[in-house]
Structure 1
Protein backbone atom coordinates (compact mmCIF):
# COMPACT_ATOMS: atom_id res chain seq x y z
CA UNK A 1 0.00 0.00 0.00
CA UNK A 2 1.44 3.34 -1.09
CA UNK A 3 -1.34 5.79 -0.29
CA UNK A 4 1.13 8.00 1.57
CA UNK A 5 3.20 8.48 -1.59
CA UNK A 6 2.72 11.70 -3.59
CA UNK A 7 -0.65 11.79 -5.32
CA UNK A 8 -0.64 11.04 -9.03
CA UNK A 9 -2.58 13.65 -11.01
CA UNK A 10 -4.29 13.07 -14.35
CA UNK A 11 -6.17 15.67 -16.39
CA UNK A 12 -8.32 15.38 -19.51
CA UNK A 13 -9.95 18.04 -21.65
CA UNK A 14 -13.32 16.31 -21.73
CA UNK A 15 -14.83 13.13 -20.29
CA UNK A 16 -18.36 11.86 -19.99
CA UNK A 17 -17.81 11.60 -16.23
CA UNK A 18 -14.63 11.32 -14.19
CA UNK A 19 -16.13 8.52 -12.08
CA UNK A 20 -17.28 6.60 -15.14
CA UNK A 21 -13.88 6.93 -16.84
CA UNK A 22 -12.13 5.49 -13.80
CA UNK A 23 -14.55 2.57 -13.49
CA UNK A 24 -13.98 1.65 -17.13
CA UNK A 25 -10.21 2.25 -17.23
CA UNK A 26 -8.94 1.46 -13.72
CA UNK A 27 -6.58 -1.21 -15.10
CA UNK A 28 -4.42 1.57 -16.57
CA UNK A 29 -3.39 2.78 -13.12
CA UNK A 30 -1.36 1.62 -10.12
CA UNK A 31 -4.24 1.29 -7.68
CA UNK A 32 -1.99 0.96 -4.64
CA UNK A 33 -1.46 4.72 -4.95
CA UNK A 34 -3.89 7.59 -4.50
CA UNK A 35 -4.84 9.28 -7.77
CA UNK A 36 -6.76 12.45 -8.60
CA UNK A 37 -8.26 12.53 -12.07
CA UNK A 38 -9.89 15.70 -13.36
CA UNK A 39 -11.48 17.03 -16.53
CA UNK A 40 -12.07 20.49 -17.94
CA UNK A 41 -15.63 19.45 -18.67
CA UNK A 42 -17.97 16.49 -18.23
CA UNK A 43 -20.55 15.76 -20.89
CA UNK A 44 -22.53 13.42 -18.64
CA UNK A 45 -21.60 14.52 -15.12
CA UNK A 46 -23.45 12.65 -12.40
CA UNK A 47 -24.54 13.36 -8.85
CA UNK A 48 -26.26 11.09 -6.36
CA UNK A 49 -29.49 9.25 -7.14
CA UNK A 50 -28.72 9.41 -10.86
CA UNK A 51 -29.10 13.18 -11.04
CA UNK A 52 -27.06 15.04 -13.63
CA UNK A 53 -24.26 17.42 -12.59
CA UNK A 54 -23.96 20.54 -14.74
CA UNK A 55 -20.33 20.66 -15.91
CA UNK A 56 -19.61 23.60 -18.25
CA UNK A 57 -16.15 23.66 -19.80
CA UNK A 58 -13.26 25.28 -17.94
CA UNK A 59 -15.26 26.90 -15.16
CA UNK A 60 -15.36 24.46 -12.27
CA UNK A 61 -13.50 21.60 -10.63
CA UNK A 62 -14.65 18.16 -11.81
CA UNK A 63 -12.43 15.54 -10.23
CA UNK A 64 -12.34 12.07 -8.72
CA UNK A 65 -9.98 10.54 -6.20
CA UNK A 66 -9.46 6.81 -6.57
CA UNK A 67 -7.49 3.89 -5.14
CA UNK A 68 -8.09 0.22 -4.33
CA UNK A 69 -7.78 -1.94 -1.23
CA UNK A 70 -7.43 -5.72 -0.95
CA UNK A 71 -9.90 -5.67 1.92
CA UNK A 72 -11.77 -2.82 3.57
CA UNK A 73 -10.58 -2.40 7.18
CA UNK A 74 -14.15 -1.48 8.17
CA UNK A 75 -17.37 -0.61 6.30
CA UNK A 76 -16.66 2.62 4.41
CA UNK A 77 -19.89 4.17 5.66
CA UNK A 78 -18.52 7.70 5.92
CA UNK A 79 -15.98 7.92 3.10
CA UNK A 80 -18.15 10.38 1.14
CA UNK A 81 -18.49 12.54 4.24
CA UNK A 82 -14.71 12.46 4.63
CA UNK A 83 -14.23 14.06 1.20
CA UNK A 84 -17.01 16.55 1.97
CA UNK A 85 -15.18 17.54 5.14
CA UNK A 86 -11.80 17.74 3.38
CA UNK A 87 -13.40 19.99 0.77
CA UNK A 88 -14.96 22.18 3.45
CA UNK A 89 -11.62 22.50 5.25
CA UNK A 90 -9.95 23.48 1.97
CA UNK A 91 -12.55 26.18 1.32
CA UNK A 92 -12.21 27.46 4.88
CA UNK A 93 -8.48 27.91 4.32
CA UNK A 94 -9.43 30.27 1.47
CA UNK A 95 -11.76 32.32 3.64
CA UNK A 96 -15.11 30.68 2.85
CA UNK A 97 -17.60 29.32 5.40
CA UNK A 98 -19.21 26.20 3.91
CA UNK A 99 -21.78 24.06 5.66
CA UNK A 100 -22.26 20.33 5.15
CA UNK A 101 -25.63 18.91 4.20
CA UNK A 102 -26.06 15.18 4.68
CA UNK A 103 -25.17 13.05 2.91
CA UNK A 104 -22.81 14.69 0.43
CA UNK A 105 -23.41 18.38 -0.30
CA UNK A 106 -21.53 21.57 0.56
CA UNK A 107 -23.53 24.77 0.83
CA UNK A 108 -22.58 28.40 1.29
CA UNK A 109 -25.33 30.88 2.19
CA UNK A 110 -27.81 27.99 1.78
CA UNK A 111 -26.80 27.52 -1.85
CA UNK A 112 -25.10 24.41 -3.19
CA UNK A 113 -21.47 24.87 -4.14
CA UNK A 114 -20.23 21.27 -4.25
CA UNK A 115 -21.30 17.66 -4.16
CA UNK A 116 -19.59 14.31 -3.65
CA UNK A 117 -20.38 11.00 -5.34
CA UNK A 118 -18.85 7.88 -3.77
CA UNK A 119 -18.78 4.54 -5.58
CA UNK A 120 -17.26 1.30 -4.30
CA UNK A 121 -16.69 -1.21 -7.09
CA UNK A 122 -15.63 -4.85 -6.76
CA UNK A 123 -12.76 -5.61 -9.12
CA UNK A 124 -10.63 -8.78 -9.26
CA UNK A 125 -9.13 -9.25 -5.79
CA UNK A 126 -9.81 -5.71 -4.63
CA UNK A 127 -12.36 -3.01 -3.92
CA UNK A 128 -12.00 0.11 -6.06
CA UNK A 129 -12.94 3.30 -4.23
CA UNK A 130 -13.95 6.22 -6.45
CA UNK A 131 -14.82 9.58 -4.91
CA UNK A 132 -16.08 12.20 -7.32
CA UNK A 133 -16.28 15.90 -6.49
CA UNK A 134 -17.96 18.70 -8.38
CA UNK A 135 -17.05 22.15 -7.05
CA UNK A 136 -18.47 25.33 -8.56
CA UNK A 137 -15.47 27.64 -8.87
CA UNK A 138 -15.78 30.23 -11.64
CA UNK A 139 -19.37 29.64 -12.74
CA UNK A 140 -21.05 33.03 -13.30
CA UNK A 141 -24.23 34.06 -11.54
CA UNK A 142 -26.32 33.66 -14.67
CA UNK A 143 -25.45 29.97 -14.92
CA UNK A 144 -25.96 29.43 -11.19
CA UNK A 145 -29.45 30.91 -11.49
CA UNK A 146 -30.25 28.62 -14.42
CA UNK A 147 -29.96 25.46 -12.32
CA UNK A 148 -32.92 23.63 -10.81
CA UNK A 149 -31.82 24.30 -7.22
CA UNK A 150 -30.17 27.24 -5.43
CA UNK A 151 -26.49 27.22 -6.41
CA UNK A 152 -23.46 29.46 -6.11
CA UNK A 153 -19.75 29.48 -6.91
CA UNK A 154 -16.54 30.73 -5.35
CA UNK A 155 -16.41 33.51 -7.96
CA UNK A 156 -19.96 34.67 -7.26
CA UNK A 157 -19.28 34.84 -3.52
CA UNK A 158 -15.82 36.40 -3.65
CA UNK A 159 -16.34 38.53 -6.78
CA UNK A 160 -13.06 37.29 -8.24
CA UNK A 161 -11.90 34.37 -10.37
CA UNK A 162 -9.89 31.43 -9.06
CA UNK A 163 -7.18 29.32 -10.67
CA UNK A 164 -8.24 25.69 -10.71
CA UNK A 165 -4.81 24.04 -10.44
CA UNK A 166 -3.76 25.49 -7.04
CA UNK A 167 -7.23 24.68 -5.72
CA UNK A 168 -6.96 21.09 -6.96
CA UNK A 169 -3.52 20.76 -5.38
CA UNK A 170 -4.65 22.12 -2.01
CA UNK A 171 -7.69 19.86 -1.94
CA UNK A 172 -5.54 16.82 -2.81
CA UNK A 173 -3.14 17.49 0.05
CA UNK A 174 -5.99 17.93 2.52
CA UNK A 175 -7.82 14.79 1.42
CA UNK A 176 -4.72 12.60 1.43
CA UNK A 177 -3.91 13.65 4.98
CA UNK A 178 -7.48 12.97 6.09
CA UNK A 179 -7.66 9.66 4.23
CA UNK A 180 -4.58 8.23 5.92
CA UNK A 181 -6.05 9.00 9.34
CA UNK A 182 -9.43 7.63 8.27
CA UNK A 183 -7.92 4.31 7.18
CA UNK A 184 -6.31 4.02 10.59
CA UNK A 185 -9.17 5.12 12.84
CA UNK A 186 -12.39 5.23 10.77
CA UNK A 187 -14.49 8.41 11.02
CA UNK A 188 -14.08 8.84 14.78
CA UNK A 189 -11.42 11.61 14.62
CA UNK A 190 -13.58 13.56 12.15
CA UNK A 191 -17.00 13.24 13.74
CA UNK A 192 -16.91 16.47 15.73
CA UNK A 193 -15.49 18.51 12.85
CA UNK A 194 -18.23 17.16 10.59
CA UNK A 195 -21.09 17.76 13.01
CA UNK A 196 -19.81 21.27 13.80
CA UNK A 197 -20.24 22.14 10.12
CA UNK A 198 -23.43 20.18 9.50
CA UNK A 199 -26.64 22.00 8.70
Structure 2
Protein backbone atom coordinates (compact mmCIF):
# COMPACT_ATOMS: atom_id res chain seq x y z
CA UNK A 1 0.00 0.00 0.00
CA UNK A 2 2.88 2.39 0.73
CA UNK A 3 4.15 1.88 -2.81
CA UNK A 4 0.78 2.98 -4.21
CA UNK A 5 0.81 6.10 -2.04
CA UNK A 6 4.33 6.93 -3.21
CA UNK A 7 3.41 6.45 -6.86
CA UNK A 8 0.28 8.61 -6.56
CA UNK A 9 2.34 11.36 -4.92
CA UNK A 10 4.75 11.22 -7.85
CA UNK A 11 1.96 12.17 -10.26
CA UNK A 12 0.69 15.06 -8.12
CA UNK A 13 0.98 18.68 -9.21
CA UNK A 14 0.55 22.08 -7.54
CA UNK A 15 -1.47 22.13 -4.31
CA UNK A 16 -1.96 18.35 -4.40
CA UNK A 17 1.73 17.99 -3.57
CA UNK A 18 1.04 19.13 0.00
CA UNK A 19 -1.40 16.24 0.58
CA UNK A 20 -0.28 13.26 2.66
CA UNK A 21 -1.52 10.13 0.88
CA UNK A 22 -2.48 6.89 2.62
CA UNK A 23 -3.81 3.71 1.01
CA UNK A 24 -5.42 0.90 3.02
CA UNK A 25 -6.70 -2.49 1.93
CA UNK A 26 -9.98 -2.23 3.82
CA UNK A 27 -11.80 0.02 6.25
CA UNK A 28 -15.33 0.78 7.33
CA UNK A 29 -15.56 4.33 6.02
CA UNK A 30 -12.75 6.62 4.87
CA UNK A 31 -14.87 9.62 5.86
CA UNK A 32 -15.41 8.31 9.39
CA UNK A 33 -11.71 7.50 9.73
CA UNK A 34 -10.60 11.01 8.76
CA UNK A 35 -13.30 12.75 10.80
CA UNK A 36 -11.99 10.93 13.86
CA UNK A 37 -8.49 12.27 13.15
CA UNK A 38 -9.06 15.90 12.14
CA UNK A 39 -8.18 17.18 15.62
CA UNK A 40 -4.63 15.90 15.19
CA UNK A 41 -4.04 16.57 11.49
CA UNK A 42 -1.45 19.17 10.51
CA UNK A 43 -1.91 19.07 6.73
CA UNK A 44 -4.36 17.70 4.13
CA UNK A 45 -4.71 13.91 4.00
CA UNK A 46 -6.06 11.66 1.26
CA UNK A 47 -7.24 8.25 2.48
CA UNK A 48 -7.95 5.63 -0.18
CA UNK A 49 -9.53 2.27 0.61
CA UNK A 50 -9.44 -0.66 -1.77
CA UNK A 51 -12.64 -1.77 -0.07
CA UNK A 52 -15.09 -0.03 2.27
CA UNK A 53 -17.40 -2.13 4.42
CA UNK A 54 -19.51 0.75 5.76
CA UNK A 55 -19.32 3.40 3.06
CA UNK A 56 -21.92 6.16 3.41
CA UNK A 57 -23.80 8.48 1.11
CA UNK A 58 -26.12 11.40 1.76
CA UNK A 59 -29.09 11.02 4.14
CA UNK A 60 -27.56 7.92 5.75
CA UNK A 61 -27.61 5.81 2.59
CA UNK A 62 -25.10 3.00 2.16
CA UNK A 63 -22.47 3.21 -0.59
CA UNK A 64 -21.88 -0.28 -1.94
CA UNK A 65 -18.50 -1.18 -3.43
CA UNK A 66 -16.41 -4.21 -4.30
CA UNK A 67 -12.61 -4.61 -4.41
CA UNK A 68 -11.18 -3.23 -7.65
CA UNK A 69 -14.63 -2.26 -8.92
CA UNK A 70 -14.66 1.31 -7.64
CA UNK A 71 -12.60 4.17 -6.34
CA UNK A 72 -13.48 5.05 -2.75
CA UNK A 73 -11.55 7.77 -1.01
CA UNK A 74 -11.78 10.81 1.25
CA UNK A 75 -9.78 14.02 1.33
CA UNK A 76 -9.45 15.96 4.60
CA UNK A 77 -8.75 19.63 3.87
CA UNK A 78 -8.52 22.55 6.29
CA UNK A 79 -10.19 25.73 5.05
CA UNK A 80 -9.59 29.23 6.40
CA UNK A 81 -13.36 29.73 6.31
CA UNK A 82 -16.12 29.55 8.92
CA UNK A 83 -18.40 26.51 8.81
CA UNK A 84 -21.32 28.47 7.38
CA UNK A 85 -19.24 29.34 4.30
CA UNK A 86 -18.96 25.69 3.24
CA UNK A 87 -22.49 25.35 1.84
CA UNK A 88 -21.48 25.31 -1.83
CA UNK A 89 -18.48 23.02 -1.44
CA UNK A 90 -20.23 19.78 -2.58
CA UNK A 91 -21.19 21.48 -5.85
CA UNK A 92 -17.66 22.83 -6.37
CA UNK A 93 -16.30 19.32 -5.80
CA UNK A 94 -18.81 18.01 -8.35
CA UNK A 95 -17.47 20.47 -10.92
CA UNK A 96 -13.87 19.46 -10.22
CA UNK A 97 -14.72 15.77 -10.45
CA UNK A 98 -16.71 16.18 -13.67
CA UNK A 99 -14.00 18.21 -15.36
CA UNK A 100 -11.30 15.73 -14.31
CA UNK A 101 -13.36 12.82 -15.69
CA UNK A 102 -13.89 14.72 -18.94
CA UNK A 103 -10.10 15.06 -19.26
CA UNK A 104 -9.97 11.27 -18.89
CA UNK A 105 -12.48 10.81 -21.71
CA UNK A 106 -15.60 10.23 -19.60
CA UNK A 107 -18.48 12.56 -20.35
CA UNK A 108 -20.60 13.31 -17.28
CA UNK A 109 -23.32 15.68 -16.11
CA UNK A 110 -24.18 16.97 -12.65
CA UNK A 111 -27.35 16.42 -10.66
CA UNK A 112 -27.97 18.82 -7.80
CA UNK A 113 -26.84 18.68 -5.09
CA UNK A 114 -24.04 16.12 -5.30
CA UNK A 115 -24.40 13.36 -7.90
CA UNK A 116 -22.27 12.80 -10.98
CA UNK A 117 -24.19 11.14 -13.82
CA UNK A 118 -22.99 9.19 -16.84
CA UNK A 119 -25.44 8.18 -19.56
CA UNK A 120 -28.33 8.90 -17.19
CA UNK A 121 -27.13 6.74 -14.28
CA UNK A 122 -25.28 7.67 -11.10
CA UNK A 123 -21.56 7.26 -11.65
CA UNK A 124 -20.23 8.96 -8.55
CA UNK A 125 -21.46 10.32 -5.25
CA UNK A 126 -20.05 13.00 -2.98
CA UNK A 127 -20.44 13.20 0.79
CA UNK A 128 -18.88 16.16 2.61
CA UNK A 129 -18.74 16.34 6.37
CA UNK A 130 -17.30 19.28 8.29
CA UNK A 131 -15.72 19.79 11.68
CA UNK A 132 -14.86 22.97 13.52
CA UNK A 133 -11.41 23.86 14.81
CA UNK A 134 -11.15 24.37 18.58
CA UNK A 135 -10.74 28.03 19.42
CA UNK A 136 -10.89 29.19 15.81
CA UNK A 137 -14.30 30.10 14.41
CA UNK A 138 -12.77 31.26 11.13
CA UNK A 139 -11.40 27.85 10.13
CA UNK A 140 -12.83 24.38 9.66
CA UNK A 141 -12.00 20.95 8.28
CA UNK A 142 -13.94 19.41 5.44
CA UNK A 143 -13.77 15.68 4.78
CA UNK A 144 -14.65 15.17 1.13
CA UNK A 145 -15.76 11.59 0.50
CA UNK A 146 -16.11 10.30 -3.06
CA UNK A 147 -17.14 6.97 -4.54
CA UNK A 148 -16.84 6.27 -8.28
CA UNK A 149 -18.18 3.13 -9.97
CA UNK A 150 -15.60 1.62 -12.31
CA UNK A 151 -17.11 -1.83 -12.81
CA UNK A 152 -20.58 -2.89 -11.73
CA UNK A 153 -21.87 -6.44 -11.85
CA UNK A 154 -25.64 -7.00 -12.29
CA UNK A 155 -26.04 -8.37 -8.76
CA UNK A 156 -24.66 -5.23 -7.15
CA UNK A 157 -26.65 -3.02 -9.52
CA UNK A 158 -29.79 -4.81 -8.35
CA UNK A 159 -28.80 -4.24 -4.71
CA UNK A 160 -28.42 -0.51 -5.31
CA UNK A 161 -31.94 -0.37 -6.69
CA UNK A 162 -31.68 2.83 -8.76
CA UNK A 163 -30.12 3.78 -12.11
CA UNK A 164 -26.34 3.51 -11.86
CA UNK A 165 -23.50 3.83 -14.33
CA UNK A 166 -19.95 2.60 -14.56
CA UNK A 167 -16.88 3.33 -16.66
CA UNK A 168 -14.98 0.08 -17.21
CA UNK A 169 -12.65 1.86 -19.64
CA UNK A 170 -11.02 3.58 -16.67
CA UNK A 171 -9.93 0.21 -15.26
CA UNK A 172 -7.52 0.01 -18.21
CA UNK A 173 -5.69 3.09 -16.95
CA UNK A 174 -2.94 3.11 -14.36
CA UNK A 175 -4.96 3.25 -11.12
CA UNK A 176 -2.40 5.39 -9.28
CA UNK A 177 -2.17 7.89 -12.13
CA UNK A 178 -5.97 8.03 -12.28
CA UNK A 179 -6.17 8.74 -8.56
CA UNK A 180 -3.56 11.48 -8.86
CA UNK A 181 -5.51 13.16 -11.68
CA UNK A 182 -8.58 13.31 -9.45
CA UNK A 183 -6.58 14.57 -6.47
CA UNK A 184 -4.98 17.30 -8.58
CA UNK A 185 -8.43 18.55 -9.60
CA UNK A 186 -9.82 18.38 -6.06
CA UNK A 187 -6.87 20.20 -4.50
CA UNK A 188 -7.06 22.98 -7.09
CA UNK A 189 -10.79 23.30 -6.44
CA UNK A 190 -10.24 23.49 -2.68
CA UNK A 191 -7.76 26.35 -3.07
CA UNK A 192 -10.09 28.25 -5.41
CA UNK A 193 -13.11 27.67 -3.17
CA UNK A 194 -11.26 29.05 -0.16
CA UNK A 195 -10.29 32.18 -2.11
CA UNK A 196 -13.48 32.89 -4.05
CA UNK A 197 -16.27 30.68 -2.70
CA UNK A 198 -18.78 28.82 -4.85
CA UNK A 199 -19.28 31.86 -7.06
CA UNK A 200 -16.14 30.85 -8.96
CA UNK A 201 -17.80 27.53 -9.86
CA UNK A 202 -21.44 28.47 -10.49
CA UNK A 203 -21.16 29.05 -14.23
CA UNK A 204 -19.14 25.87 -14.67
CA UNK A 205 -21.74 23.89 -12.68
CA UNK A 206 -24.58 25.26 -14.80
CA UNK A 207 -22.70 24.26 -17.93
CA UNK A 208 -22.72 20.66 -16.65
CA UNK A 209 -26.31 20.67 -15.35
CA UNK A 210 -28.06 17.43 -16.31
CA UNK A 211 -31.63 18.72 -16.20
CA UNK A 212 -31.56 22.34 -17.38
CA UNK A 213 -35.05 23.41 -18.42
CA UNK A 214 -36.64 20.09 -17.49
CA UNK A 215 -39.59 19.68 -15.07
CA UNK A 216 -38.42 18.42 -11.67
CA UNK A 217 -39.61 17.82 -8.11
CA UNK A 218 -37.74 18.77 -4.94
CA UNK A 219 -38.48 16.15 -2.27
CA UNK A 220 -37.94 16.08 1.47
CA UNK A 221 -38.35 12.57 2.92
CA UNK A 222 -40.66 11.67 0.06
CA UNK A 223 -42.80 14.81 0.34
CA UNK A 224 -42.89 17.21 -2.60
CA UNK A 225 -41.67 20.64 -1.48
CA UNK A 226 -41.42 22.31 -4.89
CA UNK A 227 -42.21 21.51 -8.50
CA UNK A 228 -41.13 23.43 -11.56
CA UNK A 229 -38.64 23.87 -14.38
CA UNK A 230 -35.02 23.38 -13.38
CA UNK A 231 -32.90 26.47 -14.03
CA UNK A 232 -29.55 25.81 -12.37
CA UNK A 233 -27.71 27.18 -9.35
CA UNK A 234 -26.94 30.68 -8.11
CA UNK A 235 -23.64 31.98 -6.77
CA UNK A 236 -24.22 30.51 -3.32
CA UNK A 237 -25.16 27.03 -4.57
CA UNK A 238 -28.91 27.31 -4.14
CA UNK A 239 -30.95 25.43 -6.74
CA UNK A 240 -33.21 27.63 -8.85
CA UNK A 241 -36.47 26.48 -10.37
CA UNK A 242 -39.36 28.31 -11.95
CA UNK A 243 -42.61 27.32 -10.27
CA UNK A 244 -46.21 28.43 -10.73
CA UNK A 245 -45.55 30.94 -7.93
CA UNK A 246 -42.39 32.32 -9.55
CA UNK A 247 -38.69 31.57 -9.24
CA UNK A 248 -37.72 29.66 -6.09
CA UNK A 249 -34.26 29.10 -4.58
CA UNK A 250 -33.74 25.87 -2.63
CA UNK A 251 -30.93 25.10 -0.18
CA UNK A 252 -29.51 21.59 -0.24
CA UNK A 253 -29.92 20.15 3.26
CA UNK A 254 -31.25 16.61 2.92
CA UNK A 255 -33.65 17.31 0.07
CA UNK A 256 -33.55 15.34 -3.18
CA UNK A 257 -34.26 16.19 -6.80
CA UNK A 258 -36.30 13.98 -9.11
CA UNK A 259 -37.10 14.45 -12.77
CA UNK A 260 -40.78 14.47 -13.63
CA UNK A 261 -41.49 11.71 -16.11
CA UNK A 262 -43.01 12.76 -19.44
User: TM-score over 0.5 for the alignment?
Assistant: yes
Corresponding residue for residue 124 of structure 2: 114
How much does 1:52 deviate?
0.4
How much does 1:80 deviate?
0.8
How far apart, CA to CA, are the structure 1 residues paired with 2:118 and 2:108?
5
Q: 2:161 aligned with 1:134, yes or no?
A: no
Contact 1:65-1:132 at 8 Å conserved across structures: yes
Q: How many residue pairs align between the two structures?
A: 193
The one of 70, 88, 91 equivalent to 2:98 is 88
How much does 1:109 deviate?
0.9
How much does 1:185 deviate?
0.8
RMSD value, Cα:
2.2
Identify if the C-alpha distance between structure 1 residues 148 and 162 changes in structure 2 by more than 3 Å, giving closer, same or farther.
Answer: farther
Contact 1:41-1:57 at 8 Å conserved across structures: yes
Identify if the C-alpha distance between structure 1 residues 93 and 142 changes in structure 2 by more than 3 Å, giving closer, same or farther.
Answer: farther
Corresponding residue for residue 70 of structure 2: 60
Contact 1:137-1:162 at 8 Å conserved across structures: no
How far apart, CA to CA, are the structure 2 residues paired with 1:113 and 1:20?
22
Secondary structure of residue in 1 paired with 2:36: helix
Rg: which structure is higher? 2
The one of 12, 19, 36 equivalent to 1:7 is 19
Corresponding residue for residue 172 of structure 1: 183
Q: How does 1:173-188 map to 2 (within 5 A)?
A: 173-188=184-199
With the length of structure 2 as denominator, give the TM-score of the two structures.
Answer: 0.68
Contact 2:150-2:171 at 8 Å conserved across structures: no
With the length of structure 1 as denominator, give the TM-score of the two structures.
Answer: 0.87
Corresponding residue for residue 53 of structure 2: 43
Q: 2:198 aligned with 1:198, yes or no?
A: no
Corresponding residue for residue 104 of structure 1: 114
Specify which structure has the higher proportion of strand. 2
How far apart, CA to CA, are the structure 2 residues paired with 1:138 and 1:163?
15
Identify if the C-alpha distance between structure 1 residues 96 and 69 changes in structure 2 by more than 3 Å, giving closer, same or farther.
Answer: closer
How far apart, CA to CA, are the structure 1 residues paired with 2:170 and 2:205?
28
Contact 1:18-1:42 at 8 Å conserved across structures: yes
How far apart, CA to CA, are the structure 2 residues paired with 1:127 and 1:188?
19
Identify if the C-alpha distance between structure 1 residues 87 and 116 changes in structure 2 by more than 3 Å, giving closer, same or farther.
Answer: same
How much does 1:6 deviate?
2.5
The one of 147, 151, 154 equivalent to 2:160 is 147
Secondary structure of residue in 2 paired with 1:114: strand
Contact 1:74-1:186 at 8 Å conserved across structures: no
Question: Any gaps of 5 or more consecutive residues in structure 2?
Answer: 1-13, 211-262
Identify if the C-alpha distance between structure 1 residues 160 and 58 changes in structure 2 by more than 3 Å, giving closer, same or farther.
Answer: closer
Contact 2:39-2:133 at 8 Å conserved across structures: no
